Amino acid sequence: MKTIAQQLSITEFPFEIKDKNGNLIYFENSNGSWQKREFDENNNEIYFEDSYGSWQKREFDENNNEIYFEDSDGFWSKREYDESSNRIYFENSGGTIVDNRPKTEYTMEELTKILGKPFKIIK
């Protein structure tokens, strides 16, 4: 399969294509190796692929925080953020988990400490 530069009979390298926002979406050098990228509406790189078979995918939240990553080697990671864009959760395919999400369940002792005085549950 011919590269884009070969299809267009390009002889000056490096050959580059940029999108309307100036993001480099295609790059090729004189030996025929290439890279291509895709970007979302906020200019976050969401996909990368090269002529060697490597690829990466990313997802971002509405605050441009990376929430998911995956690559051609099988590695993945996911993240969660609070409303201030502080990372509160991280997990990856290597087994690492860092969970700083707010608790939603408490023991009676924890609630007593939080409230500062004893209480009882009324059904």
Tell me the C-alpha to C-alpha distance, in Å, between residue 122 and each of 111, 114, 118, 119: 15, 18, 13, 10
Neighbours of 79 (CB within 10 A): 18
- Nearest CA-CA partner of 42 in 14, 61, 67: 61
Q: Could you give the CA distance from residue 48 to residue 36 in angstroms, rounded to a whole number?
A: 6
* DSSP character at residue 29: -
Give the per-residue pLDDT at 111. Answer: 83
pLDDT surpasses 90 at 117: no
Give the per-residue pLDDT at 112. Answer: 87
pLDDT surpasses 90 at 90: yes
Give the per-residue pLDDT at 120. Answer: 80
Tokens of 18: 């940029």
pTM of the model: 0.80
Q: How confident is the model at residue 7 (pLDDT cuts 50, 70, 90)?
A: very high
pLDDT surpasses 90 at 122: no
Q: Do the Cβ atoms of 29 and 16 come closer than 8 Å?
A: no
Q: Could you give the CA distance from residue 35 to residue 40 in angstroms, rounded to a whole number?
A: 17
pLDDT, the chain, mean: 94
Summarize the confidence of residues 54-65 as an average pLDDT. Answer: 98
Which of 58-67, 75-84, 111-120 is least confident? Answer: 111-120
83 Rama sector, left if φ>0, alpha if ψ -120 to 50, beta otherwise: alpha
pLDDT surpasses 90 at 97: yes
